[in-house]
A = this chain, B = another copy of it.
Amino acid sequence: MQNRLADIILFHRKRSGLTQQELAELAGVGKNMIYELENGKISVRLDNLLKVLQVMNIELNFHSPLWEAFLREHSDAKR
């Protein structure tokens, strides 16, 4: 389970009952891109990755101590 991204993609695709080809078409990318993604390539383009994630309802998020503190400060305005 070292390369997480590849696993997540594969796992979701299988669960969705899609072939690489079908997922590629749904996401609007090439079939090779899906294959490479599932096989550990990390030099893919971010926009393409995002398309694939969207199809399978996978959310992407960032966090760091600094950013969380910032968000906390600025969410006070909401409530």
Q: Which residues of A contact B (CB under 8 A)?
A: 4-5, 8, 11-12, 15, 42-47, 49-50, 53, 56-67, 70
Which residues of B are found within 8 Å of A65, using beta-carbon distances?
57
Q: How far apart are the CA atoms of A21 and B56 in the complex, in Å?
A: 37
Cβ-neighbour of A63 out of B5, B46, B58, B70 (below 8 A): B58
Cβ-neighbour of A11 out of B15, B49, B57, B70 (below 8 A): B70
Q: Are B53 and A42 in contact (CB under 8 A)?
A: no
| Least CB separation from A57: chain B residue | B64
Cβ-neighbour of A44 out of B46, B57, B63, B70 (below 8 A): B46
Q: Are B62 and A53 in contact (CB under 8 A)?
A: yes
